[in-house]
Amino acid sequence: MDDEAGDSQFGYERVSARDKTRRVRGVFDSVAERYDLMNDLMSGGLHRLWKRYAVELLDVRADHVVLDLAGGTADLSRLIARRAAGVRVVCSDINARMLARGRDRSLDAGHASDIVYVQANAERLPFASASLDRVIIGFGLRNVTYKSAALAEMARVLRPGGRAVVLEFSTVQAPLLARLYETYSFRVLPRLGGLVARDADSYRYLAESIRVHPDQDALAFMMERAGFASVRYHNLLGGVVAVHVGWTA
């Protein structure tokens, strides 16, 4: 949960809100160039299936304006743009280096005009209230300093009847799988990050950030408290990943 007194979690460390923002920016500045490659290696390519599933749940139509929040290298934005001709996609991220990487990859993939890029803080979105049809955030919420503020902003910018999808690592349900996942996260993942991205510490933080992220029910409660109705979630790979879906009244 968020600490309204001004502190936040950076992995297992308790830090000030300002320090959390600075250190998360440093993590993604460091890994931006190898971020997509590392996602493939870390998940064995499964992240691509998880993202397709999340976009299916988003239920995008051609007349929609969709915000890909904490969009990073824009892989979700490209999936959405291909989903329905005419859909308008806004890829937003606080990190300029990740956005630049995403813009370059989108241009290479032929998405020159159907995705726009906005550098913004998820806790203070520069969009009018009730101006968007859909919001999705993929593997980004756990890096936000105040998650409740970001969820409230997602609800604010959605029109009545809008839909939000949160794709995020979550709490593994099966004990044996949980033990295997723990070993992989803290022994294999940092070594892989050191070899491929030359940054073991950033990937150790990413593993820790998953462990301190709210579990499935806690996140559903946070979404309801932020203004979403009928929140439900779907566990993928035994709860390694969960997709939460909420609607605005």
Q: What is the pLDDT of residues 174-228, one digit of tens each?
A: 999 999 999 999 999 889 889 888 888 888 988 899 999 999 999 999 999 999 9
- Each domain of the chain, given as residue ranges in start order, spans 7-247
Q: pLDDT tens, 122-163?
A: 999 999 999 999 999 999 999 999 999 999 999 999 999 999
119/116 Cα distance (integer angstroms): 10
pLDDT of 80 higher than 90? yes
Q: What is the mean pLDDT of the chain?
A: 92
Higher pLDDT, 25 or 43: 43
Q: What does the pLDDT average to over 84-109?
A: 94
Confidence of residue 1 (pLDDT cuts 50, 70, 90): very low
CATH of range 7-247; options 3.40.630.30, 3.40.30.10, 3.40.50.1240, 3.40.50.150: 3.40.50.150
pLDDT of 25 higher than 60? yes
Distance (Å) of CA 235 to CA 169, 216, 239: 10, 8, 5
Q: pLDDT tens, 28-73?
A: 888 888 888 888 998 999 999 999 999 999 999 999 999 999 999 9
Tell me the backbone φ, ψ of residue 46, rounded to 5 degrees.
-65, -25
pLDDT of 234 higher than 60? yes
Percent above pLDDT 70 for the chain: 98
The pTM of this model reads: 0.91
Higher pLDDT, 8 or 175: 175
Query: Residue 3 has what pLDDT?
Result: 46
pLDDT of 79 higher than 90? yes
CA 149 to chain centre: 15
Using CA atoms of 93, 184, 169, 210 in order, give the dihedral in degrees to the nearest 10.
Answer: -70
Query: Residue 6 has what pLDDT?
Result: 63
